[in-house]
Chains A and B, each alone.
Chain A
C-alpha cells in the first residue's frame, strides 16, 4: 500500500514490518515522530512489542542491549546529542555482538544549539563498530530498517541507519508500505545462537586479559569485512521480494563522466538534478552517492572514481584540524592506486541549504579552479 508519509514515520513502518520485540527510546528533536508512532502502534497492538520509555538515551541503548542479549529483536532511534550520550553503550552493543538497529536522524551538535541537519553526530561514532548506512529517501529509510535487521542478525553486529533532519525526517514522500506478513519470508524471527537463558551459565563480557581481548577485536573486524558481501546479498534478496535495491554505493551517470561529485544523504538527490542540468549543457559529469560508510566499500568506490579526471567530495561535516570526513574516507580508497585529482568541499553545516546553486558552484570549482585548495574548500561560509 502506498502512502504519503514523513521520513520519521517511514522508520516506524519499517520497525512494524520487522516485527521488533523490544523498543526503547528517549525523545529528541527531530526524532520524536519515530517513537510517537511506535508508541501508538504498541498501544494498539499493531506491533507486539514492549516499549521501555527510559530517562535518557544512554539508558535507551542499555535497555536494547539487555533485550538483545535475551535474544529479542530490539530497536531504538535518536539524534545528535542523544547519539553522543549513547556513545559508551554503542561500543557495548558491538563488543557484546548484539544485532540491534538504530535510526539516527542527522542533526548538528551544540553549542550553539542547532536542531538542523549535518553529519557530525553519526560520523563521530564512525569507529565504534556499527555498520552505517546513509539513506536518501523515505522509501529507502523504511526499506533499510528491514534490511538492517537481516544484515545485523547475519553478521552479529549492530546497524545504524542515518538520514537528514527535516530534509527527510519531516518531509512527506510517497512510500510503498511493506507489511509484516510479506516481510516474514524475507526476515524470519530472530533466533540467537547464544543468549541469556535459564539453564545456562554463560558469562557475557567478563574480564578478558591481554591474552584474549585482541582476538575479540579481530573477530569484530572479520564480521565487518564479511558484512560487505552480506549487505549486497540481503539487498538482492530484498529486491526479489519487494522490487527495490540500494547497493553499497549509487553511481549516477558516471560511465563517461570526467568529473564526479561524491555525495551522501539528501544532497545526493539534489546533485542528480544538477548533473542532469549540466549534462544537458554537454558537461561530462556524474555523481556517486556513498550509501554504506561502514563497512567502507573501497573496491566499489575505486572502480567508479578511478575512471574520472576529477573528483569532488561534498561533506556536510568536518573533522576539525583535518578535512571533511567523507573526503578522508574517499582518499583512502584511492591512495596509491590512481593519481586522479581529488578535492574536498565543506557545506551545509547546521542545516544550511545545499541548493542546486551550491552544488553547481562546487562542480564549477572542481572543473575550473586551476589549483583548488585540494584539501578543504568552504562553500557558502560568510566570512
Chain B
C-alpha cells in the first residue's frame, strides 16, 4: 500500500444525516478526494439516500442523481452516455451503492454494465447488511452475524457472497477493495480508477456502528482489524482479471479480536468462533494461492 497525500479539497460538507461513526461517510469523503471536482454521482437506494440530506439540501458539493434501488450501475451508464453525447467526455460518473444495492437487488444491472464495460466507476460501500432499513441480512452479511432477520437463535450460516470474484469474472479493467481505516489507500485507488476507461469496481468496507453493535469510536479500529485479521483483504485485480495483488504488509491480528469488538457476534460460542476462524484462514489461503497462480500465467500485455 503506497502512502498518498490526502488532498485538502472537501466535497462533503457537515450537516449530513449519518449516524455517529458511520463508515459510509468516511468512504465518500475520501473517494471524492481521489476523484476531484469533475465527478457526477448516481446513488441508488441505500443509507446515502438519506445521508445526503433532505430536499433542498445536499451534503455533497457535486451533482447527484438519486435513482431506484436496483439501477445504480445502469443509471450511471446512461448518465455517462448522455454526458458524452453532449460533448462532455471528462466528467467521471460514480455509482455509489450499498451492499444490498450491489450484492443483491442491483447485481443484474451491475453485471450488465460490467459485461458491456460501460465507462463508470462503481463503488460499493459495504456495511454488510441492509442498515438503512434497520439491519436486515444481505448476501454481504458475514457468517455468524446477528441481524434483525437472522436472530441469534438462527444466525447467518452461509458465507458472504464473493462479489470480487463475480466482478473479476466479467474481465473488467480495474477491481479493488479498500477499508475506511486506510484513507490514503482509498484516495489512491480512486485516483487510479479515474485514469482508467471502462467499468471499474471498488468495494470499501464501511463499518456501521449501529448495525454491528459497535461503539462509534471503534468504527475505524474495526475497519482496520477486518483487514489485519484477514477477514477483508485489501486487493487489486488488473489486466481484465489476469492479475491479482493482495496487500500483506501488515501485522496480523487475531480473528477473535475482530469478532469480539462487535455485538453482532456476541452470541457465538467458542467452538463456533473456532469454526469461523478456520474458514477465514482457509479463504485467505485460497486467495493467496490464486494470486500466485495468476502470477505464473500470461498477463494482458504478453
Chain A residues with CB under 8 Å of chain B are: 21-22, 24, 48-50, 52-56, 58-59, 62-72, 74, 88-89, 92, 96, 196-209, 212
Is the CB–CB distance between B85 and A203 below 8 Å?
Answer: no
Is the CB–CB distance between B91 and A62 below 8 Å?
Answer: no
Sample (10) of A-B pairs whose CB atoms are under 8 Å apart: A21-B82, A55-B108, A66-B82, A67-B82, A69-B65, A70-B80, A198-B37, A201-B61, A202-B58, A206-B55
Bits for B47-60, please: 1 = Cβ < 8 Å to A, else 0. 00110111111101
Cα distance A255–B38 when bound, in Å? Answer: 62
Is the CB–CB distance between A201 and B40 below 8 Å?
Answer: no
Q: Which residues of B contact A71 (CB under 8 A)?
A: 82, 86
Q: Which residues of A contact B231 (CB under 8 A)?
A: none
Is the CB–CB distance between A65 and B112 below 8 Å?
Answer: no
Cα distance A209–B17 when bound, in Å? Answer: 14
* Closest 10 pairs (CB-CB, A-B): A66-B78, A70-B82, A67-B82, A55-B112, A63-B78, A203-B58, A62-B71, A66-B79, A72-B82, A205-B66
Given A62-B109, A197-B88, A209-B54, is A202 in contact with B81 using a C-beta cutoff of 8 Å? no
Is the CB–CB distance between B85 and A67 below 8 Å?
Answer: yes
Is the CB–CB distance between A50 and B66 below 8 Å?
Answer: no
Is the CB–CB distance between A54 and B54 below 8 Å?
Answer: no
Chain B residues with CB under 8 Å of chain A are: 37-40, 42, 49-50, 52-58, 60-68, 70-71, 74-86, 88, 90-91, 108-109, 111-112, 115-116, 118
Is the CB–CB distance between A65 and B67 below 8 Å?
Answer: yes
From A66, A198, A203, B74 is in contact (CB under 8 Å) with A66
From B63, B75, B76, B77, A202 is in contact (CB under 8 Å) with B63
Q: Which residues of A contact B82 (CB under 8 A)?
A: 21-22, 66-72, 74, 196
Cα distance A201–B54 when bound, in Å? Answer: 14
Is the CB–CB distance between A22 and B78 below 8 Å?
Answer: yes
Cα distance A62–B65 when bound, in Å? Answer: 12
Is the CB–CB distance between A65 and B78 below 8 Å?
Answer: yes
Shortest Cβ distance from B71 into A: residue: A62
Is the CB–CB distance between A59 and B54 below 8 Å?
Answer: no
Given A55-B108, A207-B50, is A89 in contact with B81 using a C-beta cutoff of 8 Å? no
Q: Which residues of B contact A49 (CB under 8 A)?
A: 85
Is the CB–CB distance between A22 and B81 below 8 Å?
Answer: yes
Shortest Cβ distance from B55 into A: residue: A208
Given A55-B109, A55-B111, is A206 in contact with B81 using a C-beta cutoff of 8 Å? no
Q: Which residues of B contact A63 (CB under 8 A)?
A: 74-75, 77-78, 81
6 further contact pairs, Cβ within 8 A, besides A52-B78, A208-B55:
A22-B78, A52-B81, A62-B75, A72-B85, A203-B64, A206-B49
Cα distance A66–B109 when bound, in Å? Answer: 13
Q: Which residues of A contact B75 (CB under 8 A)?
A: 62-63, 65-66
Is the CB–CB distance between B49 and A207 below 8 Å?
Answer: yes
Cα distance A171–B248 when bound, in Å? Answer: 66
Is the CB–CB distance between A22 and B85 below 8 Å?
Answer: yes
Is the CB–CB distance between A56 and B112 below 8 Å?
Answer: yes
Cα distance A196–B78 when bound, in Å? Answer: 12
Cα distance A69–B55 when bound, in Å? Answer: 18
Q: Which residues of A contact B109 (CB under 8 A)?
A: 54-56, 58-59, 62
Q: Which residues of B contact A200 (CB under 8 A)?
A: 63
Question: Smallest distance from the beta carbon of A197 to chain B beta carbons, Å?
Answer: 7
Is the CB–CB distance between A70 and B79 below 8 Å?
Answer: yes
Question: Smallest distance from the beta carbon of A58 to chain B beta carbons, Å?
Answer: 7
From A48, A70, A96, A203, B60 is in contact (CB under 8 Å) with A203
Shortest Cβ distance from A70 into B: residue: B82
Cα distance A212–B58 when bound, in Å? Answer: 15
From A55, A58, A66, A92, B76 is in contact (CB under 8 Å) with A66
Question: Smallest distance from the beta carbon of B92 to chain A beta carbons, Å?
Answer: 9
From A22, A52, A69, B116 is in contact (CB under 8 Å) with A52
